[in-house]
Amino acid sequence: MSYQRPKGTNDILPGESEKWQFIEETARTLFSRYQYQEIRTPLFEHYEVISRSVGDTTDIVSKEMYDFYDKGNRHITLRPEGTAPIVRSYVEHKLFGPEHTNPYKVFYIGPMFRYERPQKGRLRQFHQIGVEAFGSNNPATDVETMIMALEFFKQLGIKQFHLVINTLGDQKTRKNYRQALVDYFFAYESQLSEDSKRRLQENPLRILDSKDKADQKLVADAPSILDYLSPEAFQHFTQVTTMLDALEISYEIEPTMVRGLDYYTHTIFEIMSDNPQLGAQSTLCAGGRYDQLVEELGGPDTPGFGFAMGIERLLLVLENEAVELPDLHSLDAYVVNIGANTNVEALKVTQAIRDAGFSADRDVMGRKAKAQFKSADKKGARLVFTLGEDELEAGMINVKAMASGKEKRVPLEAIYSDFAQIFEEMS
Ligand code: HAM
């Protein structure tokens, strides 16, 4: 009996995991420059934390939750995203208190779970890198956070992407806009998909996010939210675009963009890949402002802004754009050992090289010299040391630089006393 991994999940194997480490390291370094600190929340949450935040009528909550009742009859769900759990944590630990910095800025890296139809760039267990900043109303927060995301893509070496923004305004804006949408779509009700007929009653904004072709035709001529902004919402959005212009960041405004989660207010944005290979999964990063969410989950009136990006999609783009990633698994030295008597000395030599702060490996399979050299080559070793019984007797070891072919015999003692010196001389 053998098993396969569950549908929509991936094993991240060596060879691949180095790329993950590179992406995560790049994020950690960049985010800390912007003063974000790491937060880790549980992989599962109370169902209600997610349903109240993301919204009951969204696809995420109504169709894609991995939810269950635990042995204590609690309604639990694997987290489909990171923002709601972090807001729950922010409120629970009173991170808005005077002893904490304001804005309070956190980042996270980890798996999320959505029961979606798996395809390229869309999984059931996928991974996000995200950030959340609490406490600032200032449009400069929107702009610097979007810039940080753009900077991240540049640092990874990704070139083909663009920024799309929109605003969902404040409550007053959405009330007026909702009415405009109801009036518009009501006239075409019979042409709407079954899902959208329901959305028309429950949450007409969701129709704008419909994947249905007939719905999308109607959406193209739907009223624009930009015509319904309250004076405050208009001012916030104008400041955002003015600041983006001042920093010479190019962007598009897409008035029908609504995002698949209900908690957004004011600025929302997506960073899309222009690489044709990604197809429908071209959104690499998405986020926005959520000024009501902290209060919705029982905290004080506190604005928020954040984003998340899918690591699997980043990897697809890196591959499609043929971006060269640094080698994070390089091998400085390989110790070829021939004859059973060299076993202990080979162990000592390899350990000494590791103790000196270099990466080292050796043969432990008792293979022939030729096979050991092949192994060293396959691993990309920079230096290959050879220890035979003759060398051992003479207290010497052979060293070869693989790139130049330069070879030398050095006293074993030199490895123990100053390996760095040998490494520098040979490479
Ligand atoms: P989201 O748009 O649902 O937003 O997801 C953000 C990103 O996660 C997407 O743009 C995509 O790159 C990736 N993603 C989503 N679903 C999948 C999937 N099934 N397979 C692979 N990748 C996926 C959020 O999750 C919000 N919490 C973002 C946010 C943070 N807003 C404010 N703060």
How far out from the chain centre does Cα 84 lie?
17
Ligand 1 mean position, distance from CA 110 (Å):
12
Which pLDDT score, from 0 to 100, does residue 326 have?
Answer: 85
Dist CA 50 CA 201 (whole Å): 22
Domain extent for 307: 17-159+248-320
| Stretch 375-385: mean pLDDT | 96
Q: What is the pLDDT of residue 278?
A: 84
Query: Per mean pLDDT, which range of 31-40, 240-249, 322-331 is the poorest?
Result: 322-331
**pTM, entire model:** 0.94
At 91 the three-state DSSP class reads helix
38 shares its domain with 143: yes
Residues with CB under 6 Å of ligand 1 are 81-83, 114, 116, 121-123, 126, 128, 130, 132, 260-261, 283-288, 306-310, 312-313
The number of folded domains in the chain is: 2
Q: How far apart are CA 334 and CA 362, in angstroms?
A: 5
The band of 1, judged by pLDDT with boundaries at 50, 70 and 90, is confident
Q: What is the pLDDT of residues 391-403, one digit of tens each?
A: 999 999 999 999 9
* Confidence check: pLDDT of 157 > 80: yes
Q: Report if residue 194 sits inside a domain.
A: no
Average model confidence (pLDDT) across the chain: 96
pLDDT above 70 covers a percentage of the chain that reads 100
SS (H, E, C) 345-403: HHHHHHHHHHHCCCCEEECCCCCCHHHHHHHHHHCCCCEEEEECHHHHHHCEEEEEECC
Q: What is the pLDDT of residue 49?
A: 98
**For the chain, what's the residue count?**
427
36-49 burial, b if ≥16 CB within 10 A, otherwise e? beebebeebbbbeb
Let me know whether 316 and 343 are in one domain.
Answer: no
284-332 pLDDT, tens digit per residue, is 999 999 999 999 999 999 999 999 999 999 999 999 998 998 887 789 9
Query: How far apart are the C-alpha atoms of 83 and 92, rounded to whole Å?
Result: 14
Percent of the chain with pLDDT over 90: 94
Tokens of 181: 């949408």
Are 296 and 362 contained in the same domain?
no
Domain assignment of residue 4, yes or no: no
Instruction: Tell me if 95 is assigned to some domain.
Output: yes
First to last CA, the chain: 49
Give the orientation angle of helix 311-320 with respect to helix 17-33, to 10 degrees: 110
With cut-offs at 50, 70 and 90, classify the pLDDT of residue 51. Answer: very high
261, two tokens: 């989660």
Give, for ligand 1, the residue of 65, 81, 106, 317 to mutate: max count of ligand atoms closer than 8 Å to Cβ: 81
Whether the predicted pLDDT of 105 surpasses 80: yes
3-state secondary structure of 402: coil
Residues 46 and 118 in one domain: yes
